[in-house]
Amino acid sequence: MYEPKYYIVFDIERNFRPYQSDAPTEIVDIGAIKIEASTMSIIEVFSSLVKPTASLSRHTTKLTGITKQDVKGAEKFPKVIEQFRKFLGEDYMLVTWGKEDYGFLTEDCARYNVKCPNLEKERRFDLQRFVFHAYKELFVNPPSLKLAVAQLALEWEGKQHRAFDDAKNTANIFLTAAKQKDIRKRYKRNVELILVKNGVLTDKGRKKMKRWVFKEVKRSGHCRLTWNTFMKSKTWENVLEQYHFDNPTLLLLQNYFNTALKKAKQQLQILAAMNNQK
């Protein structure tokens, strides 16, 4: 395992729309905590709003509390990412709750054709995955950040879905886990997932598949998702890190894929309609 000089716990919020749109889902908020690895002490912080090119969505404002007025005077992404890279330095490991933020950074760096921070796998630490496996007695499923804070008997700090506050709570979990567990160890758990019974998908199996497909369609905005592209997606990559499927089970999931995709599209349409009404 890579031994960094600093751990950088960070979080990102985007200008998100829970419906199909041509507008980009750009980063609008970055927050980070720098922790010295030798002392496990917080030594520096970073927090910045980012001015998007598209109008801030109502969904983003409702979720984060960030308003159009808030981002009006903010710097655009190229300037903010330059400042963030200076904050990171060179010898660091990134700590996040889940993996999605790496994709968001990569997408916006490519969009603006600017240099991206070093996001190599050896520089990443997925704290959500670590907590799920290291504290198997506390969690049946990978926990939300809020649930993990509660289950580890910590106090939530700040507002949920603001980048710096989420980063601060993630850092609190990370520091707690570092005291109670070996953060260099790769913990594993045996998860029994009954997807198939008597040669057919169980209700739980169908629900799981629908949830995975919905998550990928929502994440990528790709309503023309196919089984082959789904199998190559980040969502499926995350599923495979937790579960093992034999060939008969994979075939049943593949046969149910189109139904799951249809239901995912219907759910997104309902969410879009609800948002438009608001």
The pLDDT of 56-64, averaged and rounded, is 93
The pLDDT of 25-45, averaged and rounded, is 97
pLDDT band for 218, please (50, 70, 90 cuts).
Answer: confident
pLDDT tens for 61-119 read: 999 999 999 999 999 999 999 999 999 999 999 999 999 999 999 999 999 999 999 99
Domain spans of the chain? 6-180, 196-277
pLDDT band for 181, please (50, 70, 90 cuts).
Answer: very high
Token duo for residue 253: 């999931």
Helices (H) and strands (E) in the chain, counts: 11, 7
**What's the mean pLDDT when you consider all of the chain?**
91
Spatial separation of the C-alpha atoms in residues 107 and 101, rounded to whole Å: 10
Spatial separation of the C-alpha atoms in residues 252 and 164, rounded to whole Å: 42
- AA letter at 76: K
Q: Environment class of residue 256 by beta-carbon count within 10 Å: exposed (0-12), middle (13-18) or buried (19+)?
A: middle
Q: List the single range of 23-27, 54-58, 243-247 with lowest mean pLDDT.
A: 243-247
Superfamily of domain 6-180: Ribonuclease H-like superfamily/Ribonuclease H (3.30.420.10)
Could you give phi then psi for residue 149, rounded to 5 degrees? Answer: -60, -45
pTM as predicted: 0.71
CA-closest candidate to residue 60, choices 30, 91, 28, 36: 28
